[in-house]
């Protein structure tokens, strides 16, 4: 009996100890459970924060990519502008060199013209001196005083005509200066045309100079003949003076008629030259319009080709995206317990040739099994059907998997 009582007491004590131990274990488990709940909440908060931070980073990344695209476009535009400025600068330098050569040629022509005028003045001075001596000798002849007066009047008329001729030459020089300015303006636009026009102008000047030289020689010969006739007339007898005066008047009429014919010829030649210059200016304007039209068409064609290439590239990018989606979905294995409407966003990095370097979920569907099946499908689809032409766009990209 004593043994049985002792055993019962021991058993009751053991039961009490066991209950106490269980209570302690339960308290400890509840404490651990609460700690796990706190950790779980902290982990959820951290996951939420990290997800938000990833979203912000992704948005920043997209903005940075857009900014880089804009920077590339601006760099390309600046490069195009720089090429255009270089071309314009080279063209300006070429036109400046042509203008300098033209100025040098004009200075040389003026120097030659000045030397020729100086020689002409010396010749006229000698001629005037000889005329004065002749007049001094004729002054002794009283009976021919009236004739000398008439000769002086004739010389005065000749000097007036010479002044008019010089005035016309000055006007011609101004016209040539205006023509040179017009040529310089045309040279800035059509450098190649300028050479041809300059050559033609030089040829015209040479011909004009030759014509002027011929006229001057003809005039000198006529003057020499006239002096010889006057010398013969002075040696003739007094009784033939009336006849000589008549012949002289007829000769003056003939010379006046000849001068009028020359003036008419010069006028017709000037009109023809002006018509030719107007025709050349019209031709230059038409040529300039054709060049401008060709340049415009070329720019339009370049813009069209650029837009066409961009459209083809966009089309290829869309096709590659479609092929990737189809291949991944084809190799995707539906997991058990799958619910419709799930989707996740995965970030994929590729190697050259389309091989998958890495893949990870950046926006979960909330179902870990579904996310894992998406990653597995992407890895099974490696290498992805990415063309080398658009590899840079798909070297690192995000992909929304939604079967």
Could you list the pLDDT tens digit for every one of the 403 residues in the chain?
A: 444 444 677 777 878 777 787 888 888 888 888 888 888 888 888 888 888 888 888 888 888 888 888 887 788 777 667 766 765 675 677 678 777 888 887 888 888 888 888 888 888 888 888 888 888 787 777 787 777 777 778 877 877 777 888 878 877 778 887 887 777 787 677 777 777 877 887 788 888 888 788 888 888 888 888 888 887 778 778 778 778 788 888 888 888 888 888 888 888 888 888 888 888 888 888 888 888 888 888 888 888 888 888 888 888 888 888 888 899 888 888 887 666 788 899 999 998 888 888 999 999 888 888 888 889 999 998 888 888 888 888 888 888 888 7
CA 397/CA 348 separation, integer angstroms:
6
Give yes or no for a contact between 350 and 395, defined as CB atoms under 8 angstroms apart. yes
Asked if the structure places residue 90 within a domain, the reply is yes
Cα 372 from Cα 374, distance rounded (Å): 5
Q: Please give the Cα distance from 322 to 325 (Å, whole number).
A: 5
* Residue 381 CB neighbour total at 10 angstroms: 23
Residue 375 lies in a domain: yes
Q: Which DSSP helix (H) or strand (E) runs through 353?
A: none
d(CA 382, CA 377): 9
Boundary residue ending a domain (90, 119, 135) = 135
Last residue in a domain, options 91, 112, 135: 135
pLDDT of residue 79: 64
* DSSP classification of residue 396: E
- DSSP bridge partners of 346: 361, 399
Do 320 and 352 contact (CB within 8 A), yes or no?
no
| Residue 175 tokens, joined | 């016209």
Q: Which domain holds residue 131?
A: 79-135
Q: What is the pLDDT of residue 4?
A: 45
In a domain, 151, yes or no: no
Q: What is the pTM of this model?
A: 0.31
**Per-residue pLDDT at 347:** 92
pLDDT, residue 154, reads: 83
User: What confidence score (pLDDT) does residue 346 get?
Assistant: 92
Is 117 a member of any domain?
yes
Query: Domain count of the chain?
Result: 2
> Is 337 a member of any domain?
yes
Omega of the bond prior to 383 within 30 degrees of 0, cis?
A: yes
Q: Report the pLDDT value the prediction gives residue 88, as an integer from 0 to 100.
A: 66
Question: Among 115, 135, 155, which residue terminates a domain?
Answer: 135
3-state class of 232 per DSSP? helix
Residue at 198 is within a domain: no
Pair 386, 380: CB distance under 8 Å: no
- How far, in Å, CA of 314 to CA of 317, rounded? 5
In a domain, 258, yes or no: no
240 assigned to some structural domain: no
């Amino acid at each position: 009996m004593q043994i049985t009582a002792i055993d019962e007491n021991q058993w009751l004590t053991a039961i009490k100890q066991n209950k106490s131990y269980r209570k302690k274990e339960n308290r400890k488990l509840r404490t651990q459970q609460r700690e796990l709940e706190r950790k779980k909440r902290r982990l959820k908060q951290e996951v939420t924060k990290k997800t938000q931070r990833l979203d912000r980073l992704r948005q920043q990344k997209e903005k940075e990519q857009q900014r880089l695209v804009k920077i590339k476009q601006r760099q390309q535009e600046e490069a195009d502008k720089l090429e255009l400025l270089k071309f314009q600068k080279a063209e300006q330098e070429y036109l400046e060199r042509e203008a300098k050569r033209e100025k040098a040629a004009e200075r040389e022509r003026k120097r030659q013209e000045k030397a020729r005028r100086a020689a002409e003045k010396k010749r006229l001075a000698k001629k005037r001196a000889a005329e004065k001596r002749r007049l001094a000798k004729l002054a002794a002849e009283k009976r021919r005083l009236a004739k000398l007066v008439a000769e002086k009047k004739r010389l005065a008329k000749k000097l007036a005509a010479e002044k008019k001729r010089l005035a016309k030459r000055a006007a011609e020089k101004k016209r040539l200066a205006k023509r040179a300015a017009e040529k310089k303006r045309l040279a800035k636009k059509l450098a190649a045309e300028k050479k041809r026009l300059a050559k033609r102008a030089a040829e015209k000047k040479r011909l004009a100079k030759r014509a002027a030289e011929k006229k001057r020689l003809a005039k000198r010969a006529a003057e020499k003949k006239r002096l010889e006739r006057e010398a013969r007339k002075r040696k003739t007898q007094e009784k033939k003076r009336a006849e000589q005066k008549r012949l002289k008047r007829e000769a003056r009429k003939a010379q006046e008629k000849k001068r009028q014919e020359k003036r008419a010829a010069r006028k017709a030649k000037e009109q023809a030259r002006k018509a030719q210059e107007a025709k050349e200016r019209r031709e230059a304007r038409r040529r300039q319009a054709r060049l401008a039209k060709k340049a415009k068409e070329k720019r339009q064609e370049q813009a069209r080709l650029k837009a066409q290439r961009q459209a083809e590239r966009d089309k290829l990018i869309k096709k590659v995206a479609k092929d990737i989606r189809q291949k991944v979905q084809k190799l995707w294995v539906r997991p058990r317990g799958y619910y419709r409407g799930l989707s996740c966003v995965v970030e994929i990095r590729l190697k050259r040739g389309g091989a998958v370097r890495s893949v990870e979920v950046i926006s979960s569907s909330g179902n870990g099994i579904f996310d894992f099946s998406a990653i597995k499908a992407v890895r099974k689809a490696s290498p992805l059907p990415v063309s080398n032409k658009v590899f840079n766009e798909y070297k690192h990209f995000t992909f929304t998997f939604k079967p």
